[in-house]
Amino acid sequence: MTVARNRIAVYPGTFDPITNGHIDLVDRAAPLFERLIIGVAESPGKSPALPLDLRVELARKAVAHHANVEVRGFDSLLAHFVDQVGGGVLLRGLRAVSDFEYEFQLASMNRHLIPEVETLFLTPAEQYGFISSSLVREISRLGGDVSGFVPPAVAAALQAQWQRNHR
């Protein structure tokens, strides 16, 4: 792996929606790399609540304060996306021990598919460790207040999405 490639990290996920926990990881990882690319996966198998273009837009707004962070949507194999953008590091978040087994399996598969890329795990600040996109979606869908878990634009987009779905 070349040194230049090591300076580009890819933080992949569905980001349905992006949460304060995701943003915390970006805030701490951005200074470590020359470029940090948030790869928003289309993930049709997960049936995302928000369309890809909206998830990309919301992520861009959430991390706009970082000059070296860019957000891109993708609908391919992660290994292909990482190769396309020249990434040398995959950034993944671990909220709890329960995440580890799945993330370890993903890291092992990615090591097989893209051996020149290293996986780096970061943990969120304690106040974000319990936040997950799926919990945020469910709370929002049921009319709960998610403003403490996501940026204001994300809370508004979720509320609008549920209103559209219930018409």
Active site residues: 22, 46, 95, 133
Token pair for residue 44?
A: 């049709």
43 is in an annotated binding site: no
93 is in an annotated binding site: yes
95 is in an annotated binding site: yes
22 is in an annotated binding site: yes
118-122 β-sheet, strand order? 69-74, 35-41, 8-13, 89-93, 118-122
Cα(136)–Cα(155) distance, integer angstroms: 9
Cα(59)–Cα(22) distance, integer angstroms: 9
Whether the CB-CB separation of 39 and 10 falls below 8 Å is answered with yes
8 is in an annotated binding site: no
130 is in an annotated binding site: yes
Cα(110)–Cα(113) distance, integer angstroms: 5
Three-class SS state of 166? coil
147 is in an annotated binding site: no
128 is in an annotated binding site: yes
Which residues are known binding-site members? 14-15, 22, 46, 78, 92-95, 103, 128-134
- Feature table: binding site for ATP: 14-15, 22, 93-95, 103, 128-134
Output the known binding site for substrate.
Answer: 14, 46, 78, 92
